[in-house]
DNA sequence: ATGAACCTTCCAGTACAATGGAAGGTCAAG
DNA sequence: CTTGACCTTCCATTGTACTGGAAGGTTCAT
């Protein structure tokens, strides 16, 4: 399977696949006599895994760790569980932060809906922020 | 007021202040005979405004727009209101996305808490993702 | 044999908001 | 007069996940 076919099969681009290989997410592909990359069938599963990992909000660095564990013949289960737990904590923190920010912006937006340009002193630039 | 003092007064660094000037957020400072930057008092207010804008989740590009309007002697009120409204919409979308992602991760995390390593087939890399 | 479609490597750039460091100039105190 | 704190410019780098383009090699159909 050449790189274009793998890209097609996984809904990505050849550029991205080469980038994944260079970033250590995919093992260096076998080469044909021509120098073209020649992927085994399981490459499709690996790329699909990368996509699922991204959809789960994992970074490529985290996905790389999981793939490395698998490459070493181990099952990455407990590591994955740890990552998911960590990600959950990060998400909760991020959501809390955004909700607080949303409230702040909402207040500012309300205030700005009753404009009083004259009370904008130039040393504060804008009364509403 | 020299750059170090302005940095101190506004809780930032000289690096950042020069970066702001180069990025068009702050007008080019006056210079002393030595070539040192010599800031007027109102610089403190401008930098503080930049910080408040950032705290409100505005990008430096958006803050720059507001500051430009003020520099042209106008009051940026309606523009600010527009930006805040836009920001509110973005925040709502982002929060909704994160909540959905949180739910996904939560499910995965639950599933991963009952490990069954043997059912991880190598073509999917990890049963839990 | 020639053109299209595919592949290769390498280098550079995107957005964001700074940050780091080198090489050198200025100023006040001791 | 020297030391140290401060300032100057310029260039490069950080992290994330790619994306774009140049210059050239391969494969296949016509």
pLDDT tens track for A9-41 = 999 999 999 999 999 999 999 999 999 999 999
Using CA atoms, how far apart are residues A32 and A2, in angstroms rounded to an integer? 9
Question: Where residue B115 falls among pLDDT bands split at 50, 70, 90?
Answer: low
Question: Where residue A70 falls among pLDDT bands split at 50, 70, 90?
Answer: confident
Query: Which of B31, B113, B67 shows the shortest CA–CA distance to A129?
Result: B67
Structure tokens at A10: 């996984």
Q: What is the CATH number of domain B1-75?
A: 1.10.1660.10
- Whether A46 shows a pLDDT value over 80: the answer reads yes
Using CA atoms, how far apart are residues B33 and B73, in angstroms rounded to an integer? 29
Mean pLDDT, residues A99-111: 88
Does strand C come within 7 Å of the CB of B32? Answer: yes
B54 touches chain A (CB under 8 A): no
Does strand D come within 7 Å of the CB of A16? Answer: yes
The predicted structure's pLDDT at residue A2? 97
Return residue ranges of chain B for CATH 1.10.1660.10. Answer: 1-75
Lowest mean pLDDT among A68-82, A108-122, B70-84: A108-122
**Residue B102 contacts residue A91 (beta carbons within 8 Å):** yes
Nearest nucleotide to B62, CA against C1' atoms: C16
Question: Where residue B38 falls among pLDDT bands split at 50, 70, 90?
Answer: very high
Backbone angles phi, psi at B57, to 5 degrees: 80, 15
Reply yes or no on domain A1-59 having CATH 1.10.1660.10. Answer: yes
């Amino acid at each position: 399977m050449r790189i274009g076919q793998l890209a097609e099969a996984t809904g990505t681009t050849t550029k991205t696949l080469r980038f994944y290989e260079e970033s250590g997410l995919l093992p260096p592909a076998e080469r044909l006599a021509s120098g073209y990359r020649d992927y085994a069938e399981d490459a499709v599963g690996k790329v699909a895994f990368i996509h699922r990992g991204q959809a789960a909000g994992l970074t490529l660095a985290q996905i790389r760790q999981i793939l490395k564990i698998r490459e070493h013949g181990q099952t990455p289960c407990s590591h994955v569980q740890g990552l998911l737990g960590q990600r959950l904590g990060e998400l909760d923190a991020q959501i809390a932060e955004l909700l607080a920010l949303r409230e702040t912006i909402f207040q500012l937006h309300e205030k700005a809906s009753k404009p009083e340009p004259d009370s904008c002193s130039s040393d504060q630039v804008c009364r509403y922020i």
